Amino acid sequence: MPEQPLKPPVSLELRPRRRVSRGLLTLIPLGLILACCLSIVAVGAADYLVSSHPISSALSDLLGRQIGFRLTPTPTPRLEESPTPTMTATPSAEELMALGDQLVFQGQPEEAIAQYQMATAVDPQNALAHLKLGETYLALGRCEEAIPEFQQALVIDPDLAAAQEGLRECAGPPPPRVTFTSYVRADLGLSILYPDTWVLDERENQTIFAESEEALEHLAGSVFIFASLPLEKEMTNTQALEERIATLPPGTQVGEIEPAYISGQEWTSVHGEMSGEAVPFPSRVYMAATVWHSRLYALWALAPTDTWKDAAWPIFQAMLRSIEIQEVVAEAPPTLTPTPPLTPTAIPTAASSPSYSPGWA
């Protein structure tokens, strides 16, 4: 604006008189009016952006940068009456996601992760829940945990652009193309999906799923075991898992015990690494356990280290998400192959090479 020449001061006698009624009429400077207008516009724009991009904008604040992996915003229901969603006795996946969204907005991503994990447990086929969980991991720089969530979201919805962008951001591979089939075993209280090309071995108190006969006999591939048995004494989830860890062969390295949410239940879980005579190749292992209705439910997943991240773990994740456990019906179980003892034993093979047989019963 060009500089305005200063005007001579106006004498008091020349100033126009104003009628005063019950107070003085205050003159509002033009600059203050403009500032108020701009503030109203800014608040309106901010409301629009947050409502249009609720999760992405909040995660951007956590990162201190604009998140670039988002092609289309993830819609989140706007909470009109209360800043905290009303939770029912048995919260739905949508309610858990809404609470997770609120925690993200409040700068509590770790707490949000727990809500999104529970949402995926309540509704394993909810692609949006996996997407939100993956996005939160990604915002924290935890791509190793984000990749399986993006992959699982794409298994459910192959056209989910935001999950594809998340994988590209983490430089992760697309999920393996696998067709799953259902499996139910009442005496274990188990319902699960597993790859339809895998083989099964039903034993007393447990079922073994393996990608091939060789993997089943030699642990030379992906193997997933689910076990369920009554407990003679009360124990916590952590104690139950520690007993399972004690059965691992010598030299196995395990990480910290962490909570996990499977089939809507809270479990304890641990990742580890195995090598030596127990397995033909260096391998990764995942174990989890929970105690429910005086019964132990436990699972064990193992695969060679070089196939774990890109092939085995996404499949294991899909199986974990599909698990449903229920109270075991009191009836005589079918005649099955006896379960090996808890201590590592050799599985008879043609080559007679030493192998580790994880026994749960």
pLDDT digits (tens, 9 = 90+) for 54-80: 454 445 444 443 333 333 335 554 444
Query: Do 93-171 and 180-325 come out as alike in CATH topology?
Result: no
pLDDT at res. 261: 84
Identify the weakest region by mean pLDDT among 25-39, 69-83, 100-114, 116-130: 69-83
Separation of CA 258 from chain center: 13
pLDDT > 50? residue 191: yes
* Residue 334 binned pLDDT confidence (cut-offs 50, 70, 90): low
Please state the rounded mean pLDDT for residues 212-237: 94
> Is the domain covering 93-171 a CATH 1.10.1660.10 domain?
no
Structure confidence by residue, pLDDT tens digits, 162-190? 999 998 888 766 767 788 999 999 999 99
Structure confidence by residue, pLDDT tens digits, 301-324? 999 999 998 889 889 988 998 999
Structure confidence by residue, pLDDT tens digits, 27-43? 445 555 555 554 554 44
Higher pLDDT, 330 or 135: 135
| Per-domain boundaries in the chain | 93-171, 180-325
Identify the weakest region by mean pLDDT among 43-52, 154-163, 175-184, 190-199: 43-52
pTM score, two decimals? 0.56
The CATH topology of domain 180-325 is Protein Transport Mog1p; Chain A (3.40.1000)
